[in-house]
Structure 1
């Protein structure tokens, strides 16, 4: 690749790297896995960048590549035995004036989302990013009607998980 293309890629990646971090947070449970997935998504973006035509916004294209990479790796990892990293064990000391209600609710939401399948996770992620159904359907490669139907089902499923 030429220097101009490389500069453009780095600039776009820096501008939109939060997208990749959010995808990583959705599909990983610890810092090492997050970093590995971030690196893998970045590599896949780099490989695919010369083919980026600009038909969609860069961020939409980045979501699609990131989610597809995460889903592919997630499916491969399901074939392995799960282990728990030592750094994922939490040691908390509560402060008297700290209210962790919002943090706990967010943690419960992430635990519920981790119980969803790959497509459902992607739907929730894009929905929480305030993407409209047209952009969600484009990113996931499904129809807009299908995205709406799936999202309604996912909402019901999350309600069941969170309020048994």
Structure 2
């Protein structure tokens, strides 16, 4: 392959990636909003997710849904980011509500109190359950959730059932 052909191939790959990323960019922001409280941290996480998506793009199988592939990478990056930064940021820094657009904006419509209660519940979840919860709120099929999270459909169904029970038992939802 000549040098010119190699640059052309990279350019078209970059263009295709850019188009797909633009079309599905809300996924990046939803995941970043779900795993980082401060505006700077959300921006850093969104950038880290985008960079990892670009690095992994050559291995993307175009016969599969881009959004499923994107969610899988974005959630893995977010969970790794959370583990690296530790849980102390989630438990010691207050949520800056003026800067926080909310992870659930655009997913749920309803009274602000219910949305805030769901966001607070979501923040208390372990990283994997947080990812599961986000995907359930987006009404993703169990099969797609299983593929994104690397779980069996049975495991997804069990975890969702347990999450629903936790919500039912959570006092912030029941009065």
Using structure 2 for the length normalisation, give the TM-score.
0.80
Deviations 1:23-80 (A, max 9, x none): 1111111211111110000000010001112242000000000000000000111165
Distance between the aligned counterparts of 2:120 and 2:139, measured in 1?
A: 21
Aligned to 1:36: 44
Matched, 1:78 2:86: yes
Q: How does 1:12-161 map onto structure 2 within 5 Å?
A: 12-78=20-86, 84=93, 88=96, 102-161=111-170
Runs (4 or more) in structure 1 with deviation over 3 Å come to 79-85
**Unmatched 5+ residue regions in structure 2?**
1-8, 99-109
TM (norm. structure 1) is 0.85
In the alignment of these two chains, the number of paired residues is 153
Q: Please point out which of 6, 15, 39 is paired with 1:7.
A: 15
Structure 1 gap ranges (5+): 91-100
C-alpha distance in 2, partners of 1:13/1:73?
20
CA RMSD of aligned residues (A): 2.0
Q: Any idea what SS the aligned residue of 2:124 has?
A: coil
What is the alpha-carbon distance in structure 2 between the residues aligned to residue 26 and residue 160 of structure 1? Answer: 22
1:102/1:48 CA distance change after superposition, 3 Å: same
